[in-house]
Structure 1
Amino acid sequence: MQAGSVAEGPSIAVRPFKVLSESRELEFLAEGLAEDVIALLARVPGFFLISRASSFLFQNPETPASIVARQLGVRYVLDGSVRGAGPQVRVSTQLAEAATGRILWSGKFEATRAETLELQDDIARGIMIELEPALTQAQVNVIRRQRPENVDAWGCYHQAAGALGGKGWNELVVTEAQNFLRRALELDGNFALARAQLALLSALAQNTGLVEPSAERTEEARTTAEMAIAADTGSSEVLGYAGCALVDLGNRERGVEILKQAVEIDPSNAQAEVALGAALAMMGDLDAGIARMRHGIRLSPRDRRLAFWGWALGGFLLRANRPEEALEEARIAARRDPRLYLPAILEAVAQAALGRTELAQCALMSARRLRPELTRQEIERSHGRHAAKILAGVWDAN
């Protein structure tokens, strides 16, 4: 879905809930509540939910719904706020028709702080009553998301995400992110999401050549992924990261099983959908895998991980003997994150496969400018032996 186009059916973006009180505890609650509403709505047939990774970029409540809708391609925007009043928590929500700004539905909910996990059920039901009367008979299963007991652990997790989203992809970035995640686990040993992300980072670092693959690293990452799954089997995000890690570590059947569970719990989980598509492509079903990856990317049109996903998609298009499409994805990924060197390698491989040697040389030079340490061995790990072979002559010319 391109920005500016509206998805078929009732498409919704849920923005972060604004906190109207000075309270880290309420900030934590507001973020979890908005995520739970997304997960609940995603399970209801007939709705198209934009992933939180894109909708949560619109933190400013003053941003008009029309702008959010135009950039995300949705018809409706849900906003909310959380206010503390002693032992009580008050949540206000409103659903706006994006094109006109007209408020279609609003609701106010109040509970004690201990009862706030029940709020998302009422909010989701109110939205469904307004948008899709036929869905009011559907059974809505409340999804519980495990949160770390220590808010500082959540802060470390966000610092890891910030490192990955703002500094490219290299050894220093991966090490910094891993250190933040390890610190989060020191603060809260039950923080499954941090553990799953840690496992995935280890797998990706090995598969892209940033660290030397080893049986010890692989087993440690696999154990970390399984521990995350055991700690929170109901979290789509945990399962998405851990399942992807297992696939990348070579345990593909187990990884696909976990990724399917992640998508079943939350069909708007773009990361799990992309990872499941990549896994299917790895296992030989290129057409189905590519289609799922495209759908996952469509779910989150403003995601910070789009460049990485687009690069991976382009790699499978190349395997499917669709070099022109692979080239287009490589260029889009490079525009999305100019610091990421992997799309430049992919462009070089695609250009070489199309017989455009000079253009392949230019693309490879760009990759080496972004990553001076780049080696042929890294290219073989990240893009496969066939791609490395295609680039052999181009590499020598550089």
Structure 2
Amino acid sequence: MRYFFEDYSLDTERRELRRGFEVVPTTRQVFALLDYLIRNSDRVVSKDDLVDAIWDGRAVSDAAVTTRLNVARHAIGDSGQAQRLIRTLPRQGFRFVGVVQRAQDAPAGSPATALDGKNASPLVGPEWLPHREIRSEVDAPSGAPGSLPSVAVLPFANLSGDKEQDYFSDGITEDIITELSRFSELFVIARNSSFTYKGKAVDIRQIGRELGVRYLLEGSIRRDGAQVRITAQLIDALTGAHRWAERYDRELEDIFAVQEEVARTIVAVLADHVYVAELEHAKRKPTENLGAYDLYLRGMAETYKWTKEGNEAALRLFYRAIELDPEFPTPYGAAAMRLAVRKGFGWIVDRDQEIAEVRRLARCVMQLGKNDAIAFVHIGHALGYVAKDLDDGVAMIDRALALNPNLGAAWAHSGWPRLWLGDADLAIEHFARAMRLSPVDPGKFWPQEGTAHAHFFAGRYDEAFAWAATALRSRPDSHAALRIGAASGVLAGRCDEARRLAARLHEIDPALRPSTLTTVLGPYRNPDDVAKYADALRRAGLPG
């Protein structure tokens, strides 16, 4: 039997929970709990019912039941506070209140996967989203909160005849995404998920189903010296009908005006109303210096390579952009973020100098940033992680979220400081929101690693290991995923796997020791958390 609700499918035969194409890691007990609640969604289930069904009638404390219920909620994007899908009825029990559709047999060509989230292999074969096939056509797909119009911006095609100009068309696309995401009337898919379709000939309706959006914006850019032609068209992903199209032949210096006009037109087409204050708030021209803007776009193209060489190249380009326009705030934050990446991947060059530089860059962003959410989120993360100025870092990230609540990266960045402050459940909620805003993100390993850490510090070691394993499938040599995988594995009783991960961690970072773990960790407020982490790595076999 397969159950479909919101963006999720639960397959009882394969014992698999998915959100879209992504397998959601679950332990067997959490899967059984979801299965039982969904199968009995027509009634209130008592604690005794759960104990009999999930724990075979063994004596189980209320705290243990609550913990497992909260893990189950997190797995399906719910929380104990929201109780959108799993509701607790005081002195009565629990009930799954989401709209559930059932199907008996998978269509031919449906993906074959492992028995549980811990060992699930990547999806192969035809792209198939059964829950999208059987649900009714509604204006707001279930990925979008409430009834917000939902949109994804596909990478604009580079028609300049020079592949070296890809960075420019990619950068313009990313800026349009950022402009759109400023409007609270829209649910906007994050850049990294949209860019998984770059260069692919995929059916519009299929993309809409995969991303969970109603509308798609696609277009092209042709750059010829100081001239630029941009075409854009807005398509209804359910019907394939064109809602709006336009062509802009402009001077290159007008590029920001074109971006703003595209964003404002789409909001006017999709939203029932747009607050004047938001329209005014979205007006921004990041720099008058097109050379600085061009260097910034080139730097961002390097960051998405996720390599040491790309990181260093990006850092140099961002500093060059700052030299050309010292009033342009975005590259200050981007440069600070590259220093944070150095620390996260074990590429630190001079720790004290880099801490001082992050603080200097932060002062510049605070003076120049104004309404630049991207600058604030990057500097906020770097302040917290590199300089360990956690309170100031959180304030910067919160400011970014206030400026742009649709900025998926901001929610991922926000999850880590909540974790360092000791609020594991809130961290999981923020990581989950980031993953909902960018469901097929190539950088999804980062919020997955964060979710693994949060479960680890909450004492849910099986869940932590499952999330670490998922992150490692995306990036096998991730420092953070190897660390938390080894630590959670040994505490979950997976000693052989934990030792294997610890050995790989030692290969890529031979200088790391449990005693020096703080050099790669964020500023955890509770020293017991760091001690627990270090002891687990020691037990997993990390030398020293």
**Fold shared per TM-score above 0.5:** yes
Gapped regions of structure 2 (runs ≥ 5): 1-18, 22-128, 133-140, 522-529
1:60 aligns with one of 183, 199, 218: 199
Equivalent positions of 1:229-248 (< 5 A) are: 229-248=366-385
Question: Aligned partners of 1:48, 1:69: CA distance in 2, in Å?
Answer: 13
Local SS of the residue matching 1:79 = strand
State the AA in 1 paired with 2:303: A
Q: Is the 8 A contact 1:209 1:382 kept in 2?
A: yes
Which structure's relative contact order is higher, taking Cα pairs within 8 Å and 6+ residues apart?
1
Equivalenced residues, count: 393
Question: Aligned partners of 1:331, 1:48: CA distance in 2, in Å?
Answer: 30
State the AA in 2 paired with 1:143: K
Moved more, 206-215 or 383-392: 206-215
State the AA in 1 paired with 2:283: I
Local SS of the residue matching 1:284 = coil
State the AA in 1 paired with 2:290: E
Question: Aligned partners of 2:284, 2:179: CA distance in 1, in Å?
Answer: 10
Question: Aligned partners of 1:215, 1:263: CA distance in 2, in Å?
Answer: 29
> Paired residue for 1:146?
286
Equivalent positions of 1:341-356 (< 5 A) are: 341-356=479-494
Question: Aligned partners of 2:502, 2:314: CA distance in 1, in Å?
Answer: 27
1:307 aligns with 2:449: no
State the AA in 1 paired with 2:20: Q
| CA 124–270 in structure 1, closer or farther in 2 if over 3 Å, else same | same
| Residue 291 of structure 1, CA deviation | 0.5
Question: Aligned partners of 1:377, 1:370: CA distance in 2, in Å?
Answer: 17
1:325 aligns with one of 445, 452, 463: 463
> Paired residue for 1:124?
263
1:387 aligns with one of 522, 528, 533: 533
| CA 173–83 in structure 1, closer or farther in 2 if over 3 Å, else same | closer
1:358 aligns with one of 476, 493, 496: 496
Q: Is the 8 A contact 1:107 1:126 kept in 2?
A: no
| Residue 276 of structure 1, CA deviation | 1.6
Question: Aligned partners of 2:359, 2:409: CA distance in 1, in Å?
Answer: 19
Gapped regions of structure 1 (runs ≥ 5): none
Moved more, 242-251 or 295-304: 295-304
Local SS of the residue matching 1:106 = strand
State the AA in 1 paired with 2:505: A
Identity %: 24
| Residue 20 of structure 1, CA deviation | 3.9
| Residue 189 of structure 1, CA deviation | 4.7
User: Structure 1 or 2: larger helix share?
Assistant: 1
State the AA in 2 paired with 1:43: R
1:2 aligns with 2:55: no
How well do the aligned residues superpose, as a CA RMSD in angstroms?
Answer: 3.6
Question: Aligned partners of 1:84, 1:175: CA distance in 2, in Å?
Answer: 28
Question: Aligned partners of 2:435, 2:314: CA distance in 1, in Å?
Answer: 24
Q: Is the 8 A contact 2:155 2:198 kept in 1?
A: yes
Q: Is the 8 A contact 2:154 2:194 kept in 1?
A: yes
Alignment deviations for residues 174-218 of structure 1 (CA, whole Å, 9 cap, x no partner):
555544544554565555433323223324434665438754432
1:78 aligns with 2:236: no
State the AA in 1 paired with 2:342: A
1:133 aligns with one of 266, 269, 272: 272
> Paired residue for 2:429?
291
Alignment deviations for residues 28-58 of structure 1 (CA, whole Å, 9 cap, x no partner):
7755553443234323334210112321343
Local SS of the residue matching 1:345 = helix
Question: Aligned partners of 1:289, 1:265: CA distance in 2, in Å?
Answer: 20
State the AA in 2 paired with 1:387: Y
Local SS of the residue matching 2:197 = coil
| CA 354–62 in structure 1, closer or farther in 2 if over 3 Å, else same | closer
Local SS of the residue matching 1:247 = helix
State the AA in 1 paired with 2:484: L
> Paired residue for 1:252?
390
Question: Aligned partners of 1:251, 1:219: CA distance in 2, in Å?
Answer: 11
| Residue 268 of structure 1, CA deviation | 2.6
1:195 aligns with 2:332: yes
